[in-house]
Amino acid sequence: MLVKPGAMLGLLGGGQLGRMFTKAAQHLGYQVTVLDPAPESPAGRVADHFICADYVDHHALLKLGADCVAITTEFENIPAGSLKELAETCVVSPDAHGVSIAQNRKKKKKFLVENNFSVVPFAIIDNTDRCVEINYTDLFPGILKVSQFGYDGKGQRHVSSEAELEAAINDLNREICVLERLMPLSCEISVIVARGSDGELTSFPVSENRHVNGILDISIVPARVSRELAQQANDIATQVAEKLNYQGVLCVEFFVLEDGQLLINEIAPRPHNSGHYSIDACFTSQFEQQVRVLCGLPLGNTGMHSAAVMVNLLGDLWQQGEPDWSHVLQQPSTKLHLYGKLEARPGRKMGHFTVLDETTDLALSRAIEIKCHLKQHSKT
């Protein structure tokens, strides 16, 4: 179904991803209604209409479904039941099926294995009422992750023995978890793909990602990997979207092992932090692409006009007050994006900046210099 500009679009989730989606939709002439439980949500503050309610509030969902022609999400922890309810009255993308798999590590691992995708060696730990009784020695050292609602390093513990595993399970309230073996990595990369209702597929250039404490720190694009490896990652990501019969924007994160092997680490049913570079460096951003899929428009050109390095700005920089942005703003090829969050906490994503240049090496050098300058001056 073609949704023309001027129509009202709905968005479940009011964070920074929703804020960037809302702005992209408005640039194309659409209106946006955001539903989020936080009264000062970043997306809600820029939306045309805002419904402050829980994601399972039946009356709020009825209003959203009645007011909007098509509805999307900005993060994967939206209850799948809410998406099913909304799908009875309007277009919903992505659908409840894809989101329910991507938001649950147990289901996600099962889906990937059943479809012959390569993943890190793992075990599902379901011990809500019993101690660890299975020998997990082959998975040590490893990372224990809660099956649902964990992100940015939250709900994760490093373990190297059965004693540490048992303690970590208790620390995570004996929820269903996935234990993954730590692997010798060359780097981490991600691919963002978009798939329309007609099966049309596009992908963005591969991003090389560096993390600190489980949170994305820097994305370097194009990734500094071989053309063959980049193509392989792209092919796998598009196959994941096809196997899910997915409609929307999807991110597939990979581990690149020291021997060059690619393993899928995560899949996210939404635009992704590692794709923020596309706002400034690509002909079509991942957020405009999300609007295009939702509205049945032809997918946009995902090519880059510049190499790019994206750096996350976390709340740690705000501990001595608002950072001095003058050095960032003096850079003619650097783009600053602040998310409008009212409270800065350590580890909270408050914004990002993207450095554009002719090569990734030049962009990376400049990005590191700007990052160091901000860090040094935030301590004074």
Is the pLDDT at 131 greater than 50? The verdict is no
* pLDDT over 90, % of the chain: 87
Mean pLDDT across the chain, nearest whole number?
94
pLDDT of residue 134: 63
Tens digits of residue pLDDT in 357-367 = 999 999 999 99
Tell me, yes or no, whether 110 lies in a domain: no
Same domain, 215 and 353: yes
Count Cβ atoms within 10 A of the Cβ of residue 253 and give its class: 0-12 exposed, 13-18 middle, 19 or more buried. Answer: buried
Please check whether residues 137 and 71 belong to one and the same domain.
no
Q: Are residues 167 and 153 in the same domain?
A: yes
Report whether 178 contacts 245 (CB < 8 A): no
**Considering the domain boundaries, does residue 99 fall inside one?**
no
Please state, as a whole number, how many other Cβ atoms lie within 10 Å of the Cβ of residue 292: 22
Domain match, 353 and 293 both? yes
Question: DSSP labels for 119-151?
Answer: B--EEEE--SSS---S--GGG-SEEEEESBS--
Mean pLDDT check: name the lowest of 161-165, 217-221, 294-298, 353-357.
161-165
Instruction: Identify which has the larger pLDDT, 360 or 175.
Output: 360
Degrees, nearest 5: CA angle 89-91-151: 110
Residues 216, 338 within the same domain: yes
Using DSSP, how many helices (H) and how many strands (E) does the chain show?
A: 11, 18
Check if the beta carbon of residue 286 is closer than 8 Å to that of residue 252: no
Average of per-residue pLDDT across 331-355: 97
Contact 98, 74 (CB under 8 A): no
Query: What is the per-residue pLDDT for 173?
Result: 87
Q: What is the CATH number of the domain that holds 49?
A: 3.40.50.20
- CA–CA separation, 170 and 150 (whole Å): 16
pLDDT for residue 96 is more than 60: yes
CATH label of the domain that carries residue 128: 3.30.1490.20
Whether 130 and 74 share a structural domain:
no
Residue-level pLDDT at 133: 54
Of 157 and 152, which is predicted with more confidence? Answer: 157
Is 194 found in the same domain as 171? no
Beta-strand pair 8-12/70-73: parallel
Asked, for residue 17, whether it belongs to a domain, the answer is yes
* pLDDT the model gives residue 127: 67
Q: 30: Cβ–Cβ under 8 A, 6 or more apart, which residues?
A: 3, 5, 6, 7, 8, 9, 291, 295
Angle between helices 286-295 and 16-27 (to 10 degrees): 70
Q: Report d(CA 55, CA 48) in Å as an integer.
A: 19
Lookup result for tokens 């209604």? 33
Within a domain: residue 113? no
Residue 60 lies in a domain: yes
Are 142 and 257 in a shared domain? no
Domain limits for position 156 = 121-181
Separation between Cα atoms, residue 155 and residue 288, nearest integer Å: 31
Instruction: Over range 116-131, report the average pLDDT.
Output: 81
Residues 286 and 324 in one domain: yes
Q: How many residues does the chain have?
A: 380
Assess whether pLDDT exceeds 50 at residue 129: no
For residue 100, tell me if it sits in a domain. no
In sequence order, what DSSP letters do the residues of 336-376 get, joined into one string? EEE---S---TT-EEEEEEEEESSHHHHHHHHHHHHHHHHH
Assess whether 365 and 267 both reside in one domain.
yes
Please tell me the total count of domains within the chain: 3
Q: Tell whether 169 and 199 lie within a shared domain.
A: no
- The model's confidence at residue 379, banded by pLDDT at 50, 70 and 90, is low
248 inside domain: yes
Same domain, 57 and 157: no
Pick from 295, 296, 277: nearest CA to 286: 277
